[in-house]
């Protein structure tokens, strides 16, 4: 039911496990939906009606990454909920979403 989602967040490892690539995931989504793709401790990509944003974490930590992806996703959801009226073309919102996601992932890794 990926076609029903406004936002889909997955990692490159998720796509590999499913045996699909980014293009296949994107083609299963509605054109106005946003795809957020992460790659471990690397940059996160968001693609949607606003265009494409790529944001790397401010610092890369080689600590235990367990739970970092969940923290990243939770921060995305929280920031979108906090924003109120969702506009899929709001590039500033998506920039903030990615930055908060990275910050939450880093905080999770530092807790372990």
SS3 of the chain: helix, strand, coil, percent, to 5: 45, 20, 35
Half-sphere exposure of 81 (CA within 13 A, CB side): 6
Q: Note the Cα 8 to chain centre separation in Å.
A: 8
Cα Rg of the chain (Å, integer): 14
Model confidence band, residue 108 (pLDDT cutoffs 50, 70, 90): confident
Instruction: Pull the structure tokens for residue 8.
Output: 């889909």
Q: How far apart are CA 67 and CA 54, in angstroms?
A: 22
Q: How many domains does the chain have?
A: 1
Give the model confidence (pLDDT) of 10-67 as tens digits: 999 999 999 999 999 999 999 999 999 998 878 999 999 999 999 988 766 566 677 8
User: Which CATH number characterizes residue 14's domain?
Assistant: 3.40.1190.20
Supply the range of the domain harboring residue 49: 2-111
């Amino acid at each position: 039911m990926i076609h029903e989602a406004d936002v889909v967040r997955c990692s490159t490892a998720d796509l590999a496990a499913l045996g699909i690539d980014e293009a296949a995931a994107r083609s299963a989504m509605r054109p106005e939906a946003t795809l957020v793709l992460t790659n471990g401790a690397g940059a996160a990509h968001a693609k949607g009606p606003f265009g494409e944003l790529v944001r790397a974490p401010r610092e890369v930590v080689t600590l235990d990454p367990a739970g970092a992806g969940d923290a990243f996703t939770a921060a995305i959801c929280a920031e979108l909920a906090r924003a109120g009226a969702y506009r899929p073309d709001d590039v500033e919102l998506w920039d903030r979403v990615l930055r908060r996601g990275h910050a939450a992932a880093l905080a999770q890794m530092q807790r372990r």
